[in-house]
Homo-oligomer: A and B are copies of this chain.
Amino acid sequence: MSNPTAAMLVIGDEILSGRTRDTNTHHLANALTGHGIRLSQVRIVSDDHQAIVGAVRALGAQFDSVFTSGGIGPTHDDITVEAVAEAFGVSVAVRADARAILQAHYDRQGLELNDARLRMARIPRGATLIENPVSAAPGFSLRNVHVMAGVPAVFQVMVASILPTLTGGVPLRSQVLNIPRGEGAIAGYLGQLAGAHPEVSIGCYPYLRDGIHGAHIVVRSSAGAAVDAVIGKLAAQFPEAE
C-alpha cells in the first residue's frame, strides 16, 4: 500500500499505570483511516524526557507524519515541548503570537496570564501553531511532528484542524463478515482465499461470546470491486455468515 503513513505517540504515566484509558489513539485511527492515511505504529511512553526524545526521533524518521498527545500544559510534569524541540535540535522560547492568543483568552476570563500559563506560549523555533478553539493554548507542528493536547476534547479539535492540511491517499474500502464458527474451521479456506487475492488484505478476528466461538473477517483494499468479489466468495462458502 502506497498511502502515506503515520505514527501516534501518547505521552502519559497515567495511561501506563492503568489510571486512565487512552481514547485519543482510537479517535486518531478512525480519522486517519477516513483520510487515506495509514496509522502504522503507536507508542505510549512515560513522562520521561529521554523516552519522549527517543520516540519522536525514531517515529519521525520512519513515518510520514507523527501525532503526539499529552504533556503540553502549564504544570511541572508537562515536558513534551522541550523533548520535541531537543529531538530536532532546536531551541524553545515564548513566542509573541502564542502569547497574544493566551493573553486574549485570559483577559476575556478576567484571569492573570501568570508564569505557569505563560509556559503554554513556549514554542520550538520553526514550528507552526495548531489552533485550539476549546481552551486557547495552541499545539504546534514541527517538521512532520504534530504536538497536541491530551485532553480528548482538545485533541479532537486539533486533529480536525490538521487533517485537511495533510496529503491523504485513496481511502481503503473495507467490509466485514461475521462467521459464527471457530477460526480453526475456516482458516484453511481463508488462507487459500488470501493466496488467490493478493490485491486485498483479509484479516480474521476471533471472538468468544456466550461460549460461542466466531470470527469477524475484514476484507480491505483501495479497490472496492475487489472487496466485493472476495466478500461474495466468503458468503457463498459460509452461508451462515452475516
Contacts and interface: CB of A to CB of B under 8 A. Distances in A.
A150 B184 CA distance: 16
27 contacts: A13-B201, A13-B203, A14-B203, A14-B218, A17-B29, A17-B33, A20-B205, A22-B25, A40-B45, A40-B46, A41-B44, A41-B46, A42-B43, A73-B183, A73-B204, A73-B206, A75-B187, A75-B190, A75-B204, A76-B190, A78-B204, A111-B184, A111-B185, A114-B188, A117-B184, A120-B184, A154-B208
Given A16-B41, A114-B184, 9 more contacts: A13-B203, A15-B29, A16-B40, A17-B33, A18-B32, A42-B43, A75-B183, A75-B187, A76-B204
Contacts of A106: 184
Interface in A39-70: 39-47, 51
A126 interface: no
10 smallest A-B Cβ distances: which pairs?
Answer: A116-B187, A18-B29, A18-B30, A117-B184, A42-B44, A76-B191, A75-B204, A74-B187, A75-B187, A16-B39
B17 A21 contact: no
A64 to B, nearest CB: 15
Interface string A157-185: 00000000000000010101000001111
A14 B205 contact: yes
A117 B186 CA distance: 10
Contacts of A207: 151
A172 B76 CA distance: 21
Contacts of A104: none
Contact of A191 (B15, B116, B120): B116
Interface of A: 10, 13-22, 25-26, 29-33, 38-47, 51, 73-78, 106, 111, 114-117, 119-120, 134-135, 150-151, 153-154, 172, 174, 176, 182-188, 190-191, 194-195, 201-208, 213, 218, 220
Contact of A188 (B31, B33, B115): B115
A156 to B, nearest CB: 11
A33 B14 CA distance: 11
Contact of A16 (B20, B42, B74, B208): B42
Contacts of A25: 22, 44
Contacts of A172: 17
Contacts of A46: 40-41
